[in-house]
A = this chain, B = another copy of it.
């Protein structure tokens, strides 16, 4: 049985990755996403939804297709619904590609976080996608520039409230890596001593016992995030802040 497409609703994902220094976003070539030769014009990964799938399932489908990974961290942002956000050439392009008669498309934006490992870099490269530094993105197709902007502000808002930083870091990480991530996302400098104090006082980060090797300076100790403890403390509480950041 053929799955039917819902021609008026799409999902677009702002996929963030962190390479240790800069915050990056996954972009796909508008044409190669559609299986044609690359146009050089980029957009966020996305798709119309199927009639029998929820938005979460659609978002996971898009992410798995682009990265090969299932169950990536995913959070809904909001709907972009300007009746003219997709029109003219873009509408024709969508109709043709999906083989439907699209007329007016609203999109539900998600952001998603993943650990930038080699595997992923190969996989996305094979898909004709690229990881762009968030600061250097000048232009995107459709209204994807505003979706990206919304993604960035959602990310920095959420970073202050939930332990989402660990979705962007390897399982074992140094305090400095964590701090660099906070600095990259929030765009501020943080005092190292005070940062360590707060992070460690949270009780959700613990030493793993091993440390960096092969670095040309005092090797840092590795920590890990205690996911289970967080989940336990979280249960039932309507609102629990990871760290009481003053904003």
A119 contacts chain B at the CB level, 8 A cutoff = no
Q: List residues of chain A with CB under 8 Å of any chain B CB.
A: 6, 8-9, 51-56, 76, 78-79, 81-83, 103-104, 106, 108, 153, 156-157, 238-239, 241, 244, 246-247
Q: Is the CB of A55 within 8 A of B156?
A: no
Q: How far is the CB of A93 from chain B (nearest CB, A)?
A: 19
The quantity of this chain's copies bound in the complex is 2
Give bound CA distance, A103 to B8, whole Å: 13
Cβ of A56: which chain B residues have Cβ within 8 Å of it? 81
Report whether A81 and B54 are in contact in the complex, using a CB–CB cutoff of 8 Å.
yes
A156-B238, A244-B246, A247-B241 as given contacts; A54 in contact with B83, CB under 8 Å = yes
> For the complex, what is the distance from the CA of A238 to the CA of B160, rounded to whole Å?
14
Shortest distance between the CB of A87 and any CB in chain B (Å): 11
Chain B residues lying within 8 Å of A104, measured Cβ to Cβ, are 6, 51-52
A235 to chain B, nearest CB (A): 15
A157 & B239 in contact (Cβ 8 Å cutoff): yes
How far is A238 from B55 in the complex, measured between Cα atoms in Å?
28
Chain B residue nearest to A108 in the complex (CB): B79
Given A9-B106, A54-B81: 13 more A-B contacts, CB < 8 Å: A8-B8, A51-B104, A52-B83, A54-B83, A55-B79, A55-B81, A55-B106, A56-B81, A76-B78, A79-B108, A156-B239, A157-B239, A241-B247
CA distance A56 to B241 in the complex (A): 31
Which has the most chain B C-beta neighbours within 10 Å: A9, A52, A156? A9
Contact B244 A247 (CB under 8 A): yes
Chain B residues within an 8 Å CB radius of A153: 238-239
Q: What is the CA–CA distance of A143 and B53 in the complex, to the nearest angstrom?
A: 17
**Chain B residues whose CB sits within 8 angstroms of the CB of A106 once the complex forms:** 9, 55
Give the complex CA separation of A244 and B76 in angstroms. Answer: 26
User: Which B residue sits closest to A85, measured CB to CB?
Assistant: B54
Alpha-carbon distance between A156 and B239 when the two chains are bound, in angstroms? 10
Q: A9-B8, A153-B238, A246-B244 in contact; A82/B54 too (CB < 8 A)?
A: yes
A8 proximity list for chain B (CB < 8 A) = 6, 8-9
Chain B residues positioned under 8 Å from A9 (CB to CB): 8-9, 106
Cα A52 to Cα B81 in complex, Å, equals 10
- List chain B residues, Cβ under 8 A from A108: 79, 81
- Find chain B residues with CB under 8 A from A6 CB: 8, 104
